[in-house]
């Protein structure tokens, strides 16, 4: 009988939903590859500049629009100009004996700035925009959606009608107006985009909560005399987390696309700052003569979007979220 | 010659987690006009048995690995998709468990009702409509001329199941497969729907395969019962025989768990444990883990075989399960 | 159905009114004004201009005057382009944007719908995988990358089309294809998702049990429900296409409405901003209205709710 008891036990021992999701996610090789690549891109953008000798904003008018791999001979003045110290310079050159040459791996732009350094800096800006705006959208959307879904009835009706009305507004236009309002303030651009993107999140969370709030385990919690706040955070939020994570992952690339579009129009990030959008704009203008100006930033940008979308899809399958739409 | 004769049907699902042998060697008979029950817990393979002979299991991952299903001289398992379509819905019809989701919410009832007549009998919409209205009347729906123009969500659950029945019988099929047709309904409605199926069957002479987990339903409507467990038949007998003398431990356990047959005030009986994982099933009696009578004497080295212990009464020949309980 | 339509109609009116009010006040909060850029303008000239456009009046009075003339269908003169009426500017440029937008939508639907349906019906086959990978590439390639690349290949290399301007009868092709391909990707994914959800429903099994052919099951039983998400997406898609036209018009240097809108924002041309915003808003709200009614027609459960 011992063997049979074990068999029963084995069939009953459950795995948590998260463990299950993790196992499914690991089997999706493409999603895992995308997550690894994404981590790589993030690290490159934020840590790479430490290993790059060029400052993204320093121009060298003698080396305008040089192709990838061009060498530049450095003087002490230009070294310091690019952010090095005089001490480092002495160390490198053994007291001025060795002339120093460094390569522009991605070439230089039309003002002689190093494209690699600019691409990395642009990546920082684009990724930050994506993350911060998504975070803003997440906070507003979850709070609003959860409140509406939990309240139910008339309150829910009015709150959702408001969301519907807002969704019908031509938002790109308002984003453009907002960004001109807060000219040259990057943080406010993030906030403006985030304030626009929360609507879908609110709808998703509200639908989930509405479904859950009517389920037995919430009634059970209520009948035990738990506070509404505690019920929301202990019983409902964990169940809503799946769709929220999935949708947030898919919002990041959408926001990045929006930012890049604005920057492309000259309405987003302002010079001398750069984002992938402004770099691509620059590259598109010059692509007939200087292809590298378009290719490198576009490649980074598209690869990042690709990875984010695939990772989001993988998460959706793994967490078994039905559809991020309604 | 029986209307339907299934021999040694084997169906497996090839999933990422291994091969699930959903049906392993099931044989059964349905005579003209007869009502045959297939009983078992969820996951016992009772639905897969019927779906696979109708060509309705998704392939892949499903695969029919062997056996025959002779229907009026035709082997259903060997038909091409187009040949199968000419039988499905015309000579063999089906009704399903959940009437809420089994009707298309986007189409009017009339559209759905006349569809079988259009494709199987080539009737035009106009010619088919009176038949459809009559079919609605026959299943006891009042004002059929008006209600046929409505959408499924405007009907109650019981009424929708009546619509399903009308739709499946509209081509006068020889065999109706009813997959848990009353499970999703209220108890009072269940009774009405069962009566309706019985009444329609009598007036049309249709044979019915009744898939259910509810022995009480079986006792009410079936002539012959097949009990399935873990993808195999464990016992098959005429309904009276089975209820009088259940020979397999699993059948007895099922009967003990009918609440109405248990003494009032006692603890309700449930079968201990859970059905086995069909992807990890080794040789031996599949019920031995849960057999509280004489599980220690069940076969462990080879699969038990079906034997006919009385005329028409078959049971799996496993010493631990065949043994009469001392209690 | 009538009540449903009516309530959506009233909602549309409310939205348009809200857009009008929001835009009016937002634009005035923005730093700068229409005459800030012209350095030569003396304070006297400036005062004359402000009086001419009523900018010296209190804000509420300006608001009601603008509202009044819009209600009479008068879009007022541009503040930046002297002597130009906004209605004239729109009449010149909007047909270009509309042509490109509609052609793009046609491209998107004629590629996206079949691709999505086939991918859903043959799910997990190589057709599905390759169509969906392509779609994902389309989603990740922004118009401002795809546009220049297409221009480079088909404009500069093969010399089939002009890469800029609006002169010849084929000039709509590259912009529309650029935008259409990207929306085709979204529509394909959405169609596949919607179709898969419907194909897994019980009533599809019922249809199979009735002996219907796969083609009839897809067309009669699955498409109606499966296309609902796509139809619902058409409203936002049109928004994306009109606003996407800002970018497309810049890439291909087209004298469309988007260019005017972007320039009017830079110029703080209050009245032209208002005119273009109201046009976009009305267009969008109208499309959303028809989308909602169409969904109501496709899905009887919504209609009666």
* Mean pLDDT, chain B, integer: 83
pLDDT value of position C110:
93
Of A217-231, A241-255, A282-296, B143-157, the one with minimum mean pLDDT is A217-231
Distance from CA of A203 to the nearest CA of B (A): 24
Q: Of B43, B289, B292, B296, which to mutate for an interface test with A (greatest number of A Cβ within 10 Å)?
A: B289
Whether pLDDT at A322 is above 70: no
Q: Is C250:C20 a contact under the CB 8 Å cutoff?
A: no
Cα–Cα distances in angstroms (integers) from residue C219 to residues B104, C107, C195, C211, C225, in the given order: 13, 21, 11, 15, 10
Task: Tell me the C-alpha distance between A114 and A103, whole Å.
Answer: 9
SS3 string, chain A, reads CHHHHHHHHHHHCCCCHHHHHHHHHHHCHHHHHHHHHHHHHHHHHHHHHHHCCCCCCCCCHHHCCCCCCEEEEECHHHHHHCCCCHHHHHHHHCCCCCCEEEEECCCECCCCCEHHHHHHHHHHHHHHHHHHHHHHHHHHHHHHHHHHHHHCHHHHHHHHHHHHHHHCCCHHHHHHHHHHHCCCCHHHHHHHHHHHHHHHHHHHHHHHHHHHHCCHHHHHHHHCCCCHHHHHHHHHHHHHHHHHHHHHHHHHHHHHHHHHHHHHCCCCCCCCCCCHHHHHHHHHHCCCCCCHHHHHHHHHHHHHHHHHHHHHHHHHHHHCCCCCCC
Q: Using the predicted structure, report yes or no on whether residue B293 has a pLDDT greater than 60.
A: yes
Mean per-residue pLDDT, C20-32: 81
Q: What is the pLDDT of residue A203?
A: 83
Q: What percent of chain B has pLDDT over 70?
A: 98
- Residue A11: its chain B contacts at CB < 8 A? 273-274, 276-277
3-state secondary structure of B150: coil
For chain C, say whether B119 makes contact (Cβ under 8 Å): yes
pTM above 0.90, yes or no: no
pLDDT in tens, C58-105: 888 888 888 888 888 887 888 777 777 888 888 888 888 888 888 899
Cβ atoms within 10 Å of A163's Cβ, excluding its own: 19
Judged by DSSP in three states, B264 sits in coil
Residue B323: pLDDT band (50, 70, 90) is low
Mean pLDDT of A77-87: 73
pLDDT band at A326 (very low <50, low <70, confident <90, very high): very low
pLDDT score, position C305: 45
Question: A306 in contact with C at a CB cutoff of 8 Å?
Answer: yes
* A281 neighbourhood in chain C, CB within 8 Å: 144
Q: Between chain A and chain C, how many beta carbons pairs sit less than 8 Å apart? A: 121
- For the segment C24-42, the average pLDDT, to the nearest whole number, is 74
* Cβ-Cβ contacts under 8 Å for A54 (sequence gap 6 or more): A82, A102, A104, A113, A114, A116, A117
Q: Tell which of B15, B57, B100, B104 to mutate to test the C interface (max C CBs under 10 Å).
A: B104
Judge whether B4 and B30 are in contact, CB under 8 Å.
Answer: yes
Cis peptide before B61 (omega within 30 of 0): yes
Across the interface, of A1, A4, A11, the residue whose CB is closest to B277 is A11
How does the average pLDDT of chain A come out, rounded? 77
Higher pLDDT, C209 or C33: C209
Q: What is the mean pLDDT of residues A86-108?
A: 72
Chain C residues bordering chain B (beta-carbon distance below 8 Å): 201-203, 205-213, 216, 220-221, 224-225, 298-301, 304
- CA-closest candidate to residue B311, choices B219, B218, B236: B236
| pLDDT, tens digit (0-9, with 9 covering 90-100), for A16-45 | 667 777 777 777 788 888 889 999 999 988
Nearest CA in chain A to B294: A1
**Which residues have a Cβ under 8 Å from the Cβ of B106 and sit 6 or more positions away?**
C221, C224, C225, C298, C299, C300
Return d(Cα C148, Cα A293) in angstroms, integer: 12
Tokens encoding B209: 């395969």
B201's CB contacts (< 8 A; 6+ apart) are: B33, B35, B176, B207, B208
Cβ of B295 and A11 within 8 Å?
A: no
The chain C residue lying nearest B82, using CA atoms, is C213
For residue C41, give both structure tokens: 């303008």
Chain C nearest C-alpha distance from A6 (Å): 36
Q: Name every chain A residue with its beta carbon within 8 A of the beta carbon of C11.
A: 164-165, 168
Tell me whether C29 touches chain A (CB under 8 Å). Answer: yes
Set of chain B residues whose Cβ sits within 8 Å of the Cβ of C207: 104, 115
Where does residue B72 fall: left (phi above 0), alpha (psi -120 to 50 degrees), or beta otherwise?
Answer: left
Single out the residue of B191, B21, B161, B32 nearest to residue B100, CA to CA.
B161
CA distance A5 to chain B (A): 8
Task: For chain A, positions 134-193, list CB contacts with chain C under 8 A.
Answer: 164-165, 168-174, 176-178, 180-181, 183
A165 vs C14: CB contact, 8 Å cut-off?
yes
pLDDT at C243: 63
Contact C20, C278 (CB under 8 A): yes
Q: What is the pLDDT of residue C37?
A: 64
C266 and A169 within 8 Å at the Cβ level: the answer is no
* B28-61 confidence digits (pLDDT tens): 888 888 899 999 888 788 888 888 888 888 777 8
Closest CA of chain A from B262, distance in Å: 26
Contact C291, C97 (CB under 8 A): no
Beta bridge partners of B37: B210, B225
C11 touching A, CB under 8 A? yes
Chain C nearest-CA residue for B169: C210
Tell me which residue in A172, A294, A323 faces C243 most closely, judged by beta carbons. Answer: A172
Q: Is there a contact between A95 and A86 (Cβ–Cβ < 8 Å)?
A: no
- The confidence score (pLDDT) of residue A10 equals 44
Task: Give the distance from residue B88's alpha carbon to the nearest chain C alpha carbon, in angstroms.
Answer: 5
> What are the phi and psi torsion angles at B227 (to 5°)?
-100, 125
Query: Which of C1, C197, C206, C231 would you mutate first to test chain B, the one with the most B CBs within 10 A?
Result: C206
d(CA A125, CA A273): 9
User: How is residue A185 written in tokens?
Assistant: 């303030």
Quote the pLDDT of residue C219: 87
pLDDT at B85: 87
Q: What percent of chain A has pLDDT over 70?
A: 83
- For residue C268, is pLDDT > 50? yes
- Nearest CB partner across the interface for C209, out of B88, B103, B119: B88
What is the CA angle A59-A65-A71, rounded to 5?
80
Residue B225 has phi, psi (to 5 degrees) of: -125, 135
Strands B74-75 and B306-310: unpaired
| pLDDT tens-digit series, residues C139-189 | 878 888 888 888 888 887 888 877 777 777 777 888 888 889 888 888 898
Q: What is the DSSP string of B207-227?
A: EEEEEES-HHHHHHH-SEEEE
pLDDT of A324 over the 50 cut:
no
pLDDT(A266) > 70: yes
Task: Give me A108's structure tokens.
Answer: 């230089």
Q: Tell me how far apart the alpha carbons of residues B112 and C221 are, in angstroms, rounded to a whole number.
A: 9
Query: Distance (Å, rounded) from C-alpha A149 to C-alpha A211?
Result: 8
A288 touches chain C (CB under 8 A): yes
Q: Is the peptide bond before B60 cis (omega within 30 degrees of 0)?
A: yes
Query: Rounded CA gap, A273 and A199, in Å?
Result: 30
Question: According to the model, what pLDDT value does residue A325 have?
Answer: 37
Indicate whether C262 pLDDT > 70: yes
DSSP assignment of C101-148 equals HHHHHHHHHHHHHHHHHHHHHTTTSHHHHHHHHHHHHHHHS-HHHHHH
Mean pLDDT of the C294-299 span = 78
ipTM of the complex: 0.82
- A18 DSSP β-pair partners: none
B1-18 average pLDDT score: 84
């Amino acid at each position: 009988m011992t063997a049979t008891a074990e068999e029963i036990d084995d069939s009953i021992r459950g795995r948590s939903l998260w463990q299950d999701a993790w196992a499914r996610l690991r089997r999706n090789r493409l999603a895992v590859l995308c997550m690894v690549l994404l981590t790589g891109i993030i690290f490159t953008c934020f840590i790479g500049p430490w290993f790059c000798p060029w400052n993204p904003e320093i121009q060298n008018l003698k080396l305008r629009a040089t192709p990838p791999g061009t060498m530049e001979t450095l003087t002490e003045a230009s070294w310091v100009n690019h952010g090095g110290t005089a001490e480092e310079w002495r160390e490198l050159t053994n007291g001025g004996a060795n002339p120093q040459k460094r390569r522009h791996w991605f070439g230089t732009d039309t003002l002689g700035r190093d494209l690699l350094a600019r691409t990395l800096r642009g990546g920082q800006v684009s990724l930050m925009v994506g993350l911060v705006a998504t975070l803003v959208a997440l906070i507003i959307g979850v709070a609003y959606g959860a409140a509406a879904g939990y309240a139910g009835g008339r309150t829910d009706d009015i709150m959702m009608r408001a969301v519907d009305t807002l969704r019908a507004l031509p938002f790109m236009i308002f984003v453009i107006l907002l960004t001109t309002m807060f000219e040259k303030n990057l943080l406010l651009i993030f906030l403006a985009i985030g304030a626009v993107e929360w609507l879908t999140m609110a709808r998703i969370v509200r639908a989930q909560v509405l479904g859950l709030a009517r389920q037995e385990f919430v009634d059970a919690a209520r009948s035990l005399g738990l506070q509404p706040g505690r019920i929301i955070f202990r019983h409902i939020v964990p169940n809503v987390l799946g769709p929220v994570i999935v949708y947030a992952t898919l919002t990041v690339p959408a926001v990045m696309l929006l930012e890049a579009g604005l920057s492309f129009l000259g309405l987003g990030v302002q010079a001398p700052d750069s984002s992938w959008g402004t770099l691509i704009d620059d590259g598109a203008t010059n692509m007939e003569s200087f292809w590298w100006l378009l290719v490198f930033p576009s490649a980074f940008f598209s690869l990042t979007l690709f990875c984010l979308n695939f990772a989001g899809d993988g998460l959706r399958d793994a967490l078994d979220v039905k559809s991020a739409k309604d | 010659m029986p209307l339907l004769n299934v021999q040694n049907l084997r169906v497996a699902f090839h999933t990422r987690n291994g091969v699930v042998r959903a049906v392993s060697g099931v044989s059964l008979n349905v005579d003209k006009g007869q009502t045959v029950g297939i009983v078992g817990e969820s996951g016992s393979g009772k639905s897969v048995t019927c779906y696979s002979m109708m060509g309705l299991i998704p392939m892949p991952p499903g695969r029919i690995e062997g056996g025959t299903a002779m229907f009026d001289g035709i082997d259903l398992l060997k038909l091409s998709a187009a040949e199968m379509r000419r039988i499905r819905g015309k000579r063999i019809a089906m009704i399903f468990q959940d009437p809420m989701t089994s009707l298309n919410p986007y189409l009017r009832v009339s559209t759905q009702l006349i569809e079988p007549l259009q494709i199987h009998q080539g009737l035009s919409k106009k010619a088919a409509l009176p038949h459809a209205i009559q079919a609605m009347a026959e299943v006891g729906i009042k004002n059929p001329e008006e209600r046929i123009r409505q959408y499924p969500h405007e009907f109650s659950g019981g009424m929708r199941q009546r619509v399903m029945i009308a739709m499946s019988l509209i081509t006068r099929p020889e065999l109706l497969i009813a997959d848990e047709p009353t499970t999703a309904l209220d108890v009072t409605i269940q009774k009405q729907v069962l009566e309706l199926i019985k009444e329609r069957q009598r007036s049309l002479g249709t044979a019915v395969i009744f898939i259910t987990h509810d022995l009480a339903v079986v006792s009410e409507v079936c002539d012959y019962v097949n009990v399935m467990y873990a993808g195999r038949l464990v016992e098959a007998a005429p309904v009276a025989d089975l209820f009088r003398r259940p020979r397999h431990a699993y059948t007895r356990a099922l009967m003990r768990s009918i609440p109405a047959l248990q003494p009032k005030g006692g603890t309700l009986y449930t079968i201990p444990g859970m059905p086995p994982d069909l992807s990890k099933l080794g040789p031996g009696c599949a019920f031995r883990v849960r057999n509280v009578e004489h599980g220690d004497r069940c076969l462990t080295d080879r699969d038990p075989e079906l034997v006919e212990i009385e005329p028409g009464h078959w049971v799996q020949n496993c010493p631990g399960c065949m043994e009469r309980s001392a209690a | 159905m009538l009540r449903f339509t009516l309530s959506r109609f009233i909602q549309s009116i409310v939205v348009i009114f809200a857009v009008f009010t929001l835009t009016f006040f937002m634009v005035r909060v923005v730093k700068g004004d229409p005459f800030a850029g012209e350095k030569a303008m003396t304070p006297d000239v400036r005062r004359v201009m402000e009086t001419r456009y009523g900018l010296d009046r209190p804000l509420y009075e300006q608001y009601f005057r603008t509202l009044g003339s819009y209600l009479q269908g008068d879009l007022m003169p541009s503040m930046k382009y002297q002597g130009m009426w906004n209605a004239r500017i729109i009449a010149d440029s909007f047909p270009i944007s509309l042509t490109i937008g509609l052609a793009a939508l046609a491209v998107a639907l004629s590629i996206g719908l079949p691709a999505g349906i086939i991918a859903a019906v043959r799910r997990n086959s190589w057709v599905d995988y390759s169509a969906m990978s392509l779609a994902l590439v389309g989603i990740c390639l922004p118009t401002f990358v795809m546009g220049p690349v297409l221009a480079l290949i088909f404009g500069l290399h093969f010399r089939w089309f002009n890469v800029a301007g609006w002169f010849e009868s084929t000039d709509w092709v590259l912009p529309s294809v650029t935008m259409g391909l990207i929306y085709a990707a979204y529509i394909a994914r959405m169609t596949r998702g919607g179709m898969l959800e419907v194909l897994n429903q019980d009533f599809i099994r019922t249809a199979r049990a009735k002996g219907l052919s796969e083609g009839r099951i897809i067309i009669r039983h699955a498409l109606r429900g499966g296309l609902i998400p796509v139809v619902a997406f058409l409203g936002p898609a049109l928004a994306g296409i009109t606003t996407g036209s800002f970018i497309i018009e810049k890439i291909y240097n087209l004298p469309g409405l988007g260019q005017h809108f972007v320039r009017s924002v830079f110029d703080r041309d209050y009245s032209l901003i208002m005119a273009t915003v109201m046009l976009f808003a009305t267009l969008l709200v109208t499309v959303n209205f028809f989308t909602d009614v169409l969904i109501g027609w496709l899905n009887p459960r919504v209609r009666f709710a």
